[in-house]
Amino acid sequence: MLFSSLTFIYVFLAAVLPIYFIAPQRLKNHVLLVASLIFYLFGEPICVILLIISSLNDWLHSLYIEAHRGTRGAKVALISSIIVNLGLLGFFKYADFFIGTINTILGTDIPLLGIPLPIGISFFTFQTMSYTIDVYRGETHAKKNLATFATFVCLFPQLIAGPIVRYTDVEAELEDRKSTLAGMSSGISRFAVGLGKKVLIANMMGELCSAFRTSDERTVLFYWLYAVGFTLQIYFDFSGYSDMAVGLGRMFGFKFPENFNYPFISKTITEFWRRWHMTLSTWFRDYVYIPLGGNRVSKAKWIRNIAVVWLLTGFWHGAQWNFVLWGGMFGVLLLIEKFFLGGLLKKLPAVVSHIYVMFLVVISFVVFNASGLNGAVDDLGGLFGAGKIPFLGQESIYYLKSYALPIILAAIGSTPLLKKCWEKVSTGPRAVLEPIGMAAMIILSTAFIISGSFNPFLYFRF
């Protein structure tokens, strides 16, 4: 069930909110848990069993770790929990990838399993793993109430595409939270902004990308239109979903961590990854990079740590080699900045630094969205005229004229400019204009949903 669907907004959410608000405090988690299971059942009726198994796995292991803290048994339980989590993730997400790789290398013909990918498995697996690790580290206590813990795991606003919410982020709110009119108002506004990002901008950029993929014309101009269009699409798609998730969380009394902070204004690739998908970056930092030694090791091990983190980051996104290449690219770029370009980038004019970052980011997302390594090579070659393809053609000129203004407006919307302008408006007019603007955003988005057909969330496939 998509957040940007009429079924979710006007049926599911419209039914859940009043039930939640009239429920006694002691039953609010139960209402959310039941609603979350229904939400997941709507899209993944079979895989809800996997969600329950994942919850039970970490709940039981954590109780054992808590009871045997400081013993060898606690460490064995932690390892067992991680093996189960990664085993489920590996089987459902990567089994066919490994089989295909073995077939390619050894020339075998092992049949693929064709296992459907459970929606959100990468997200909720990381969330449950972080809980068990935190219990082992003593950063939180094991939760004895299974319903409360299951509510954390299954919480529908962030279940299937993040942000990656750790138990420690919402521990206090799971026990005692208050749903207020101010929180509801703030949540609706944030949800409306995210909905507008997704429906009015990301979907339009997605239509441009689809037009490129289905067209027979291949020109340098068309490749660059596609590259820029996809970069804007994935930003507004994923940040829009995160905005909606954060907004829904506020409606129910939770404060989820932010996931994006205007990454396209970055002056270095290092800064870009401090602003893009921040909950994933911090997860890998806290549970992989720092345990490996971080930067408090020899230079060789430091390079190894960065390489491991970024290859895993790429692999987390998808079971294809182009994702591994994508992660590896960023690992190399970060190392180059740390060892060679750091001082130079600080001295360059801001506009030059921005161009440097955006050029590399656009190139990286072409690799990200390619169909395997061969597709990545073809798409990158197209950007630079490989195969002597023409610079422009009739169709690419048509799409340039059709999408130039939306691309410019989307680019402006990806910066803090509009937010800064809004903050300069005095409090009185803002109090009147904000609810009118948010209502208009929801109505306009609804109209686009009704009239349009392109409405998938890109990160559901991860």
pTM for the full predicted model: 0.93
pLDDT at 337: 94
How many residues belong to the chain?
462
Tell me which residue of 115, 124, 114, 112 sits closest to 48, measured CA to CA. 124
pLDDT at 458: 65
Tell me which residue of 149, 169, 161 sits closest to 3, measured CA to CA. 161
C-alpha angle 151-239-45 in degrees, rounded to nearest 5: 40
Q: What does residue 426 show for φ and ψ, rounded to 5 degrees? A: -65, 160
Domain boundaries along the sequence of the chain: 6-177, 183-461
Give whole-number Cα distances, 54 to 57, 332, 398, in Å. Answer: 5, 34, 50
- Whole-angstrom distance, CA of residue 218 vs CA of residue 390: 8
Choosing from 30, 141, 317, 354, the catalytic residue is 317
Is there a catalytic annotation at residue 68?
no
Span 247-256, pLDDT tens digits = 999 999 999 9
Take residue 54 and report the two structure tokens written for it: 């994942």
In which residue ranges of the chain is pLDDT below 50? none
Q: How far is CA 203 from the centre of its chain?
A: 17
What's the CA dihedral at 135, 284, 167, 291 to 10 degrees?
Answer: 20
pLDDT at 368: 95
- Helix (H), strand (E) at residue 154: helix 146-154
pLDDT at 362: 97
DSSP state letters, 335-347: HHIIIIIHHHHHH
pLDDT at 125: 92
Q: What does residue 195 show for φ and ψ, rounded to 5 degrees? A: -60, -45
Span 3-42, pLDDT tens digits = 888 999 999 999 999 999 999 988 999 999 999 999 988 8
- Sign, Cα dihedral of 379, 384, 389, 390: positive
pLDDT at 455: 60
